[in-house]
Amino acid sequence: MAAYLKNTIYIVLSTLFGMGLGMLFKNQTATVGVILLWFAAVDPALSLLLPSAGQYTLASLGISISGGGTGGQGPYQQILSPVVAMLVYLTYATVPLIVGVMRFRKSDIS
């Protein structure tokens, strides 16, 4: 798969994930804050403490989908294959999106 196609898929999945969180929190600032905190603190710590679980973190999935490698160094020492990473990230993006849409429809006054 070409690199631009993999990166496009990653951007689309990240957008869907962000939309779902935005609908859940109903606050753009809180959504951006949670995502930044996750990528800056929680994600690397989880990958360092639990390397086998760390391959399922958002940053590790992004590295895998984009075709990057870690060289066995840093917090992301184990990564999934790009196709498996796309499927896992699709699941991560779908769950908050579905729950967010359900919450939005419930609270929408039409």
Per-residue pLDDT of the chain in tens (110 residues, 90 and over written 9): 688 888 898 899 989 988 888 888 888 888 889 888 988 888 888 888 887 888 888 888 888 888 776 666 666 767 888 889 999 999 999 998 999 888 888 876 65
Instruction: For residue 44, tell me if it sits in a domain.
Output: yes
d(CA 81, CA 94): 20
Overall number of domains in the chain: 1
Instruction: For residue 83, tell me if it sits in a domain.
Output: yes
Instruction: For residue 110, tell me if it sits in a domain.
Output: no
Instruction: For residue 109, tell me if it sits in a domain.
Output: no
The vertex-77 CA angle with 75 and 90, nearest 5°, equals 90
d(CA 90, CA 1): 17
Instruction: For residue 94, tell me if it sits in a domain.
Output: yes
Instruction: For residue 66, tell me if it sits in a domain.
Output: yes
| 11: containing domain | 3-104
